[in-house]
């Protein structure tokens, strides 16, 4: 009985976290996202005919030796307790003014995919592989903030961005902002 209740409390917490994340409450410790072409949830991530647990994209961060699958928004594997998580505010990398938001744990557990995210520096590259193309992103800015601070992420008009978010210890958050610099068709 307690385990069922504990799971329900955890799911409720995650749901509350995502609601606050999407709504961008000024007094919360959540990141707000802005993109005038985005609806409440990005429909385009649901358009492909995919199985519930098939991976959707591949994230590669060479400097961190990270090569991780990203699952679709409606997949039960698209949860921070299992993988790098695609956040609902995201758009596809192949659309105009795309913004992709990925979050993952830091720390020392086996799901701490972003444990060394703070080691990235301006100019480092990150790749997303999606739908037969390799999208290259370059680090433009790294912000380290208190977990209690409100952070607004705004992309430059006409740019395609990727934002990586994780905790840094118990009191800080690291936010890495990247811009798309190249697209290569895979054979």
pLDDT of 166 > 50? The answer is yes
Q: Which domains does the chain have, with CATH numbers?
A: 2-185 (2.40.260.10)
Reference 174, options 86, 103, 81, 111; nearest CA is 103
Does residue 138 or residue 187 have the better pLDDT?
138
Q: What's the confidence (pLDDT) of residue 15?
A: 38
- What average pLDDT does the segment 19-26 reach? 35
pTM of the complete model = 0.72
pLDDT tens digits, one per residue of 25-76 = 333 333 444 433 333 333 444 444 444 556 789 999 999 999 999 998 888 8
Structure-token pair, residue 68:
């991780």
pLDDT above 70: residue 169: yes
């Amino acid at each position: 009985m307690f385990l069922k209740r504990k799971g329900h409390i955890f799911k409720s917490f995650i749901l509350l976290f995502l609601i606050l994340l999407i709504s961008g409450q000024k007094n919360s410790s959540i990141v707000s996202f802005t993109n005038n072409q985005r609806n409440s949830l990005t429909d385009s991530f649901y358009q492909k005919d995919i199985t519930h647990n098939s991976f959707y994209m591949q994230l590669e961060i060479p400097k961190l030796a990270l090569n991780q699958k990203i699952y679709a928004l409606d997949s039960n594997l698209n949860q921070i307790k299992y993988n790098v998580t695609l956040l609902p505010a995201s758009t596809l990398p192949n659309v105009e003014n795309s913004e992709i938001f990925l979050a993952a744990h830091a720390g020392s557990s086996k799901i701490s995919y972003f444990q060394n995210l703070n080691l990235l520096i301006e100019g480092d590259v990150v790749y997303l592989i999606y739908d037969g193309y390799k999208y290259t992103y370059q680090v433009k800015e790294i912000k380290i903030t208190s977990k209690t601070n409100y952070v607004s992420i705004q992309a430059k008009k006409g740019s395609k961005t990727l934002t990586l978010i994780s905790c840094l210890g118990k009191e800080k958050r690291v936010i890495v902002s990247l811009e798309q610099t190249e697209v290569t068709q895979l054979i």
